[in-house]
Structure formats: C-alpha cells, structure tokens
Amino acid sequence: MAPKILISAGEASGDLYAASLAEALRRRYPEAGFFGCVGPRMRAAGVEAVADMARLAVVGLVEVLSHIPRIYSEFRKIHRAAEERRPDLAILTDSPDFHLRLAPRLRKLGVPVVYLVAPQAWAWRKGRVHTLRRNVERLLCIFPFEESFFRAHGVAAVYIGHPLARLVRASCDKEKFFEKNGLQPGRKLVTLLPGSRPGEVARHLPDLRGAVRLILERRRDVEFALATPLGHSPASVGAAFPGLPVRIVEGQTWDAVASSDLALAASGTVTIETALLGTPMVTFYRVSRASWRLGRPFVNVPFYSMVNLVAERRVVPELIQNHLTPERLASEALELLENAAARERMKEDLAEVAGKLRTGHDPMEWAADEVQAVWKRK
C-alpha cells in the first residue's frame, strides 16, 4: 500500500532538500501521496500545499514576534491537515522553531516523525535535544560532527552526508556566464550573497553597498553580481546600489559563484554551496541588536560559519554583528583579490571541507532508506 506522507519545510534550503527526498520516495512508491508546508521546489515535485513556506521565512528572536500570528496560522493549517488525513509518516525539514512544536502534536496523533537537517542544539538551545529524543523516530544529520553529539544524548541520529554535495554544480562555464549577463571578459567578478529572506537582505545591503564603493576606489577591474533566488529580485535590491556596477542575477546563484573570483556571502546554506564550488569567500551576518543581546549568551561554538565548523578551524573570515562594517568587508575582500597565494590556500581548505561533506552514496537515497525503515516498522 502506498504511504500518505506529510512533508514540511520552512525555508529555501529545506524546500530543496524536502523536494529531493519526496522525489526519491516517489521513485520507490509512485502512488505515494505527499502534502504539507511547501515551497516552489516541493510544489514542482508534486507535493500538495496545505501551508505556505514563504509565510514562515523570518530570522531573529525579536524579529519573529510581529510575525507570530501569520506563522501560527500556517501551523494550524498543517496540524489540522494531519488530524484530518492521519498520514502514515511525517518528514519535518529544518526550521526547528516551527517543526519542534509540530512534532509533539504529530506524536500524539500516532504519526512517526523523521526529522531532516538537525537543529543546531550542539551550539545553543540544548533543550531541543529532549524534544527530539521524545518525539522523533529518526534524525537525519547533514554535517559529520552531528551524529555523535545527538547519539550521545539518546537521539536516533544518522549522518547521511550533505544533500548539496551531489546537487551543487555550475550549468555553464565562466565565459558563457559573463556573456549571458553582460559582464566584461577579463575582469574579476565578486558575487554578493546577502541572504534569501527579506529581513536579512535588508540588514546586509547597506554594508555590501559600502564595501562595493570601497573596493572600487582601489580596484577598477572588478565587477559585481548580486545573486538572488528565482522570483526574489525586488526593485529595492537593485535600487540599493545606485550608480554602482552591480548586476542583479536571478536564479543563477551556482553559476555566478562558480564564475567568481570571490564571494561575499551571508552565513548560511549558501556558504556550503560556495565551498562545494571551491570559490574563496568572506562570510558575514547581522541580526537586530535586541536579538543579538538576547541570543549571544546562549551560543557556545568556536565559529559561526558552518564552513569553519566543518573544517574545525578558521578557513574563511567571519564578520558577525558589530564586526560587519563596509570597511572590514572591503578589507577582507581586497586581501583575497590581491593575494593569489591566500586565494589558493583557501581553495585547498575549501576542497577539504567539501570532502568531509561527501560520502560514497546519495544522501537522499540514504534518507529514503531511513524513511522507509521507519514507515515499515510502524
């Protein structure tokens, strides 16, 4: 009998992973039914939308407060759908603030839960471990150090490898990318990656704008591409760089990064993508002052960038919160643009990180194995 599966994601990377897993499961069970909180990739994979992922995309302890009614509305939709349809299994992808509230409700309904992409309980909010242990049948980890941490705390965790390790690749070479986007051959290219959520983009654009101006004061042989996800290029993004040679590139992030000499990347999934493509980078991130003050005392990690955490040492510069200024961003960028040896060292280090994220199998097929095992045990 084909399973009914609730599958849910709350942001762009989760949408990609959940869609890939749904496709892997559908190859095994062509008649399976999927429904849940979905984004564009999940819709394209045939997952029925009962809640909208786009309505959940908020970052920051304080920033989320004004959005709680909207988020709770989506929560009620997906919980009600679970009550009415009684799925055979649920796959919850990342977005722990949302999904770790949903998991206990599903458990009460007798729906086994597989959780894809472990919450960063090893860094902060370790109480989430107890929620996982009580309510999740299998935790699928995508970073190598996570499995041992969660297993030591009694969570049934499995490291499946990073899904992006088999997905990230450029679709064209540098020459074709430059031609397609009207960039001048022979110039250095810096790709700006301010984030995917509107709030983080708005917080990062002023520092990126200032850094672009400072870089151009010293280097006139540099062009800039600002990469945005497909369908996420509001006019305000382009308007943030008046008179500057910044080309908005929509839906071509991997090609832009692969064609670049350097990326300025907001800390998050895109830094993993950049590492897998082997492009040197400077990472940064800023939340509101209130969120920083509230959250900082509870964070206990040696690095903020996942690239550095996987490497277990500083591979890429991190400019976090008050350290993020146009001057610091431009300085780090110019050091890499003008120091070929430093760029090569970073490329070697990024290749090591990429190697740690790759395994000898397809992560989504392994994830499908784990989902299948949980369903058959029900």
DSSP-assigned beta bridge partners for residue 263: 191, 281
DSSP 2: P
The H or E element that residue 300 is part of is: none
* Residue in the block written with tokens 């055979």: 88
304-363: pLDDT as tens digits: 899 999 999 999 999 999 999 999 999 999 999 999 999 999 999 999 999 999 988 899
What pLDDT band is residue 60 in, cutting at 50, 70 and 90?
very low
Q: Which of 233, 273, 245, 269 is nearest to 257 (CA)?
A: 273
C-alpha Rg value of the chain to the nearest Å:
21
Residue with tokens 């722990």: 96
Q: Which of 304, 66, 311, 86 is nearest to 199 (CA)?
A: 66
pLDDT of residue 59: 46
Domains, in order of start, for the chain: 4-161+359-377 (3.40.50.2000), 174-357 (3.40.50.2000)
Where residue 178 falls among pLDDT bands split at 50, 70, 90?
very high
Q: For residue range 266-312, what is the model confidence (pLDDT) as tens digits?
A: 998 999 999 999 999 999 999 877 766 766 655 667 788 999 999 99
318 or 238: which carries more pLDDT confidence?
318
Q: Given a cut of 60, is residue 63 above it in pLDDT?
A: no
pLDDT exceeds 70 at position 94? yes
The answer to whether 176 and 36 are in contact (CB under 8 A) is no
